[in-house]
């Protein structure tokens, strides 16, 4: 009999292990191919055949459109037109949604692209630099804005406390005195528009220490856009049916981008413009919507941790995403009690800011801090810093301690 080589079992074991590893690799590759095939098949029957677009690009159109709708509301109102989108990113990529993203124009452009990339699925990211992606993505953003505007016009009475008639396409809103007050227009013969219109402030009194103080209409704009026209009714409970934008996108909190979107959209809805401009410039009003969105978002990103902005964010989150009482009781009262306490604390902080301003303001009460049209962001930040200094004085007792109870 032939003797078995002493190392033969070990060699066979190694060969078997190597074969198993190779089989696992092949299975993984097959799974990835099957996943890609599923995506291609799902989109193939609905893809556009026009413009002779290659199948490898057009097949992703529906995925691109879904992502564009979310991006256009939650992140950026306009598609980022920057050369950085076709250039390689720095490694690691610059952080977005932080004050550091505004240190220079170059960094800001890179952050815009990084923020866009963070939302894209891998197979979409691979075609992101193509002209076809830009065309489909930007057009989907514009279409989404138009569709949402119809819902907002239907809810105009609840949002603005104005007749829905005023928000018909060809209605001249500048003939409505209350609209002119909201926009801060004093001369109808030559209407001018400020970045900080009175509508954005409590009681229409411009106070640059407290931007977006009139947050509730903004929250209603977002709630309508994310959860549907009926969602702003007090007794609304979402039943089974078509999923809302918020459900499809898995949105559970507001962002600097979506708040800036709501503010810009409120300006547009009150303006004399009849259709939302894709190029960012109002056809009738000449309001630079692209620029004012940028200003609003930069302020929100820069001051996201400021006590005033945090109070607004907390209040908006509660109004938009809170559960109905019936569901809250089912899921346990403790969570609802904690959230209510948090909102109460936030509102108390905002009330305290109002009391401080009333105590320390030496100027006319109607406009504690007036601002010229499209005033620099630095002016707003300075007013907010001054307000924060007053808070500190209350905390350390420089301002009468009787005010500290509101904190």
What is the reported pLDDT for 56? 63
Q: Where are the alpha helices (DSSP H) in 98-174?
A: 105-117, 122-125, 131-154, 156-160
Same domain, 263 and 318: yes
Q: State whether 341 and 378 are in the same domain.
A: yes
pTM, full prediction: 0.71
Query: Torsion angle of alpha carbons 177, 225, 195, 163, nearest 10°?
Result: 0
127 and 223: one domain? no
121 vs 111: CA distance, rounded Å: 18
- Considering the domain architecture, whether residues 78 and 170 belong to the same structural domain is answered as no
The answer to whether 384 and 207 are in contact (CB under 8 A) is no
Q: Which domain holds residue 362?
A: 155-406
For 18, counting Cβ atoms within 10 Å of its Cβ (0-12 exposed, 13-18 middle, 19+ buried), the class is exposed
Residue 296 shares a structural domain with residue 184: yes
* Confidence (pLDDT) at 324: 41
Contacts of 256 (CB under 8 A, 6+ apart): 97, 297, 300, 301, 304
What is the pLDDT at residue 125? 82
User: Residue 74 has what pLDDT?
Assistant: 95
pLDDT score for 337: 35
* Positions of the chain with pLDDT under 70: 1-9, 24, 27-57, 84, 86, 88-90, 236-241, 323-407
The reply to whether 137 and 170 lie within a common domain is no
Domain count, the chain: 2
In angstroms, the CA 81 to CA 56 distance is 24
Domain boundary among 144, 176, 208: 144
Report d(CA 139, CA 134) in Å as an integer. 8
Cα separation, 47 vs 373, in Å, equals: 46
In this prediction, residue 234 carries a pLDDT of 74
Rounded CA separation 380/383 (Å):
5
Angle at 127 between CA 126 and CA 132, to 5 degrees: 175
pLDDT of residue 110: 86
Q: Is residue 19 part of a domain?
A: no
């Amino acid at each position: 009999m032939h003797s078995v080589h002493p190392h033969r079992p070990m060699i066979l074991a190694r060969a078997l292990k190597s074969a198993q590893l190779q089989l696992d690799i092949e299975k993984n590759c097959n799974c990835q191919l099957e996943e890609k095939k599923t995506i291609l098949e799902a989109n193939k029957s609905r893809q556009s055949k026009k413009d002779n677009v290659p199948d490898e690009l057009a097949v992703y159109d529906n995925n691109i459109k879904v992502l564009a709708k979310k991006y256009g509301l939650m992140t950026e109102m306009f598609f980022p037109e920057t050369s950085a989108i076709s250039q390689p990113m720095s490694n690691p990529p610059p952080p977005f949604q932080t004050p550091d993203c505004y240190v220079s124009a170059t960094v800001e452009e890179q952050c815009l692209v990084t923020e866009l990339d963070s939302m894209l699925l891998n197979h979409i990211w691979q075609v992101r630099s193509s002209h076809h992606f830009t065309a489909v993505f930007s057009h989907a953003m514009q279409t989404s804005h138009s569709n949402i505007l119809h819902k907002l016009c239907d809810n105009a009475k609840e949002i603005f406390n104005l007749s829905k008639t005023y928000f018909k396409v060809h209605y001249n809103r500048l003939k409505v005195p209350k609209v002119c007050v909201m926009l801060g227009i004093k001369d109808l013969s030559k209407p001018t528009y400020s970045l900080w219109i009175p509508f954005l402030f409590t009681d229409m009194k411009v106070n640059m220490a407290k931007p977006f103080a009139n947050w509730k209409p903004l929250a209603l704009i977002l709630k309508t856009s994310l959860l549907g026209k009926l969602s702003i009714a007090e007794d609304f409970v979402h039943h089974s049916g078509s999923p809302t934008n918020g459900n499809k996108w898995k949105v559970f909190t507001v962002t600097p981008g979506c708040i800036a979107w709501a503010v810009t959209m409120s300006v547009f809805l009150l303006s004399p413009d009849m259709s939302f401009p894709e190029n960012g410039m109002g056809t009738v009003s000449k309001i630079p919507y692209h620029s004012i969105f940028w200003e609003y978002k930069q302020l929100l990103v820069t001051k996201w941790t400021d006590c005033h902005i945090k109070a607004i964010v907390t209040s908006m989150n509660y109004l938009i995403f809170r559960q109905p009482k019936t569901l809250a009781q089912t899921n346990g009262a403790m969570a609802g009690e904690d959230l209510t306490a948090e909102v109460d604390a936030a509102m108390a902080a905002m009330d305290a800011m109002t009391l401080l301003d009333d105590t320390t303001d030496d100027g006319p009460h109607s406009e504690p801090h007036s601002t010229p049209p499209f005033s620099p962001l630095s002016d707003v930040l300075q007013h907010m810093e001054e307000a924060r200094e007053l808070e500190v004085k209350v905390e350390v007792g420089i301002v009468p301690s009787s005010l500290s109870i509101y904190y």
